[in-house]
């Protein structure tokens, strides 16, 4: 990571150059992306965002391509976001949801993948409750695989859209203090964001109850604390994570009210942050648990921008991955 970029008065021309291409034909983990590839995706997303402002919000780029959205875990916003992105690029889309699939009838993911393969999709967008499901799928099918969230592992496009949103508000990532607060243990959004933000040079703090702390998280180059005030102090960005009660088998905190008292973000507690702080949340929000409503709906909140940017970032990923060879497993 170049420290010269932190120097004041750095000329515009010295901005780091984006990579000319992605190295992998799949998007499985943020860990596979280097800084230049991340910049390529974010720059491409800027162009894609303009498409969404047109009267005809559609371009012919992926005409003739088939994209399967295989969502084997409940999801509304990620699935609709991918679907809009695919439609805006003119791809043919097919949705297979958990409730309607043969997986309920006992078919394994690999068998489902082989069945899909017979329909020759160009890309598969997979959401699965098991960490590593996307890697498994990429190993057995010819289509390009995009990870739309696998278990407690990763959610790469969420981290990319978060970075895109931050970049629209902050001039640079280097030295930016980003506090990520909430259910750290169960969060794939956290894992992807840590990998991405540290690669871009941000200083990341994570904060949550001891019972929901990620063991060994400091090894990723982040600061961990159980004090919300310490995490929020002088923060440029406060990113809240949803308390994922559906993934909690056991008691992690006494009550939602108590969680809110200790870790809920209120306007009062946000005063310790920088005056130009932005507040983010990957959704869906638990109002009155992770965040007070007046903060979530207030002027510092960019939560709805995140949703809008998600479509542009996913269009960019679909476009960039489409540039690779499709068939016959030579890649």
Partner 1 sequence: MEAEGIRRALVRIAHEIVERNRGVGGVALVGIRRRGVPLAQRLARSLFEITGRDVPTGSLDITLYRDDLMRQAVGPQPVLRRTEIPFSIDDRRILLVDDVLYTGRTIRAALDALIDFGRPRSIQLVVMVDRGHRELPIKADYVGRNVPTAARQSVQVKLAEEDGVDEVAIEDVAEEGGSVPAAGGGAP
Q: Is 319 in the site for partner 1 (CB under 8 A)?
A: yes
Which residue in the set 237, 280, 316, 317 belongs to the binding site for partner 1 (CB under 8 A)? Answer: 316
Judged by CB under 8 A, how many residues of this single chain contact partner 1?
Answer: 33
DSSP string spanning 18-62? PPSS-S-SSB--GGG--HHHHHHHHHHHHHHHHHTTSSS---STT
Residues 36-95 that bind partner 1 (CB under 8 A): 40, 43-44, 46-48, 50-51, 54-56, 58-65, 89
Cis omega before residue 112 (within 30°)?
no
Task: Return the range that interacts with partner 1 (CB under 8 A); candidates 111-119, 156-164, 286-294, 315-323.
Answer: 315-323
Report angle CA 153, 192, 241 to the nearest 5 degrees.
90
Residues 15-34 that bind partner 1 (CB under 8 A): 18, 20-22
Q: How do strand 237-240 and strand 177-181 relate by DSSP bridges?
A: parallel
DSSP string spanning 69-136? EEE-S--SHHHHHHHHHHHHTT-EEEEEEGGGSGGGGT--HHHHHHHHHTT--SEEEEEESSTTHHHH
Contacts of 320 (CB under 8 A, 6+ apart): 21, 22, 40, 41, 44
Task: Return the range that interacts with partner 1 (CB under 8 A); candidates 101-109, 111-119, 257-265, 323-331.
Answer: 323-331
Residue 252-281 contact track with partner 1, rule CB under 8 A, x = bound? ------------------------------
Whether the Cβ atoms of residue 137 and residue 109 lie closer than 8 Å to each other: yes
Q: Which is nearer to partner 1, 55 or 210 (CB)?
A: 55
Q: In angstroms, give the least distance from the CB of 94 to partner 1.
A: 18
Q: In angstroms, give the least distance from the CB of 216 to partner 1.
A: 37
Q: Using alpha carbons, select from 292, 259, 102 the residue that is nearest to residue 183.
A: 259
Which residue in the set 74, 99, 221, 323 belongs to the binding site for partner 1 (CB under 8 A)? Answer: 323
Q: Which is nearer to partner 1, 122 or 150 (CB)?
A: 122
Q: Which residues pair with 262 in a beta bridge?
A: none
Q: Which is nearer to partner 1, 45 or 159 (CB)?
A: 45
Report angle CA 252, 207, 167 to the nearest 5 degrees.
130
Q: Which is nearer to partner 1, 54 or 257 (CB)?
A: 54
Q: Which is nearer to partner 1, 20 or 215 (CB)?
A: 20
Q: Is 11 in the site for partner 1 (CB under 8 A)?
A: no
Give residues in contact with partner 1 (CB under 8 A): 18, 20-22, 40, 43-44, 46-48, 50-51, 54-56, 58-65, 89, 316, 319-320, 322-327
């Amino acid at each position: 990571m170049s420290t010269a970029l932190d120097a004041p008065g750095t000329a515009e021309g010295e901005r780091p150059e984006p990579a000319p291409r992605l190295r992998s034909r799949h998007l499985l983990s943020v860990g596979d992306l280097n800084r230049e590839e991340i910049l390529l995706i974010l720059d491409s997303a800027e162009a894609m965002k303009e498409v969404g402002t047109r009267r005809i919000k559609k371009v012919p780029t992926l005409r003739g391509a088939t994209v399967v959205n295989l969502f084997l875990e409940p999801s509304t916003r990620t699935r609709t976001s991918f679907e809009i992105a695919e439609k805006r690029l003119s791809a043919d889309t097919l949705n297979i949801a958990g409730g309607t699939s043969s997986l309920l009838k006992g078919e394994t993911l690999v068998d489902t993948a082989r069945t899909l393969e017979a329909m020759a999709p160009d890309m598969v967008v997979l959401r699965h409750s098991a960490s590593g499901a996307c890697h498994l799928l990429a190993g057995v099918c010819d289509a390009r695989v995009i990870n739309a969230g696998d278990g407690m592992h990763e959610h790469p496009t969420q981290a990319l859209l978060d970075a895109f949103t931050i970049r629209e508000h902050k001039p640079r990532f280097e030295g930016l203090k980003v506090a990520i607060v909430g259910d750290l243990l169960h969060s794939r959004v956290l894992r992807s964001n840590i990998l991405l933000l540290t690669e871009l040079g941000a200083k990341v703090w994570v904060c949550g109850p001891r019972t929901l702390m990620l063991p060994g998280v400091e090894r990723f180059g982040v600061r961990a604390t159980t004090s919300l005030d310490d995490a929020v102090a002088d923060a440029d960005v406060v990113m809240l994570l949803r308390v994922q009660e559906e993934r909690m088998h056991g008691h992690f905190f006494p009550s939602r009210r108590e969680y809110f008292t200790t870790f809920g973000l209120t306007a009062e507690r946000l005063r310790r942050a920088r005056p130009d702080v932005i507040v983010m949340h990957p959704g869906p929000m638990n109002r009155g648990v992770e965040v007070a409503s007046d903060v979530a709906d207030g002027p510092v909140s960019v939560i709805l921008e995140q949703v809008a940017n998600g479509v542009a970032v996913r269009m960019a990923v679909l476009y960039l991955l489409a540039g690779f060879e499709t068939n016959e497993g030579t890649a």
